[in-house]
Amino acid sequence: MALGPQGKVQILTICTGNICRSPMAEALLKKKIGPKLAKYVHVASAGTHAMEGMPASHTGIATAVKMNVDLSLHSSQPLTPYLIGRSDIILAMQPEHVKIVLRLAPTAGPRTFLLKEFGMPKGYNPQGSIIDDPIAQSDEFYDRVYKELDAEIDRIIPYLKKVVASAI
Write b or e for each residue in 22-32: b if 16 or more Cβ atoms lie within 10 A of its Cβ, otherwise e: bbbbbbbbebe
Q: What residue ranges do the domains of the chain occupy?
A: 9-167
Contact 76, 47 (CB under 8 A): yes
pLDDT above 90: percentage of residues in the chain: 71
DSSP bridge partners of 47: 15, 78
Q: 86-139 pLDDT, tens per residue?
A: 999 999 999 999 999 999 999 999 999 999 998 876 766 666 788 999 998 998
Higher pLDDT, 39 or 105: 105
- Topology of domain 9-167 in CATH is Rossmann fold (3.40.50)
Question: Mean pLDDT over residues 70-83, rounded?
Answer: 96
pLDDT band at 4 (very low <50, low <70, confident <90, very high): low
Is the pLDDT at 167 greater than 60? The verdict is yes
pTM for this prediction = 0.91
Instruction: Determine the pLDDT at residue 99.
Output: 97
Residue type present at position 33: I
Known catalytic residues are: 15, 21, 133
Instruction: Determine the pLDDT at residue 160.
Output: 84
Instruction: Determine the pLDDT at residue 148.
Output: 94
Is the pLDDT at 27 greater than 90? The verdict is yes
DSSP code for 5: T
Instruction: Determine the pLDDT at residue 104.
Output: 98
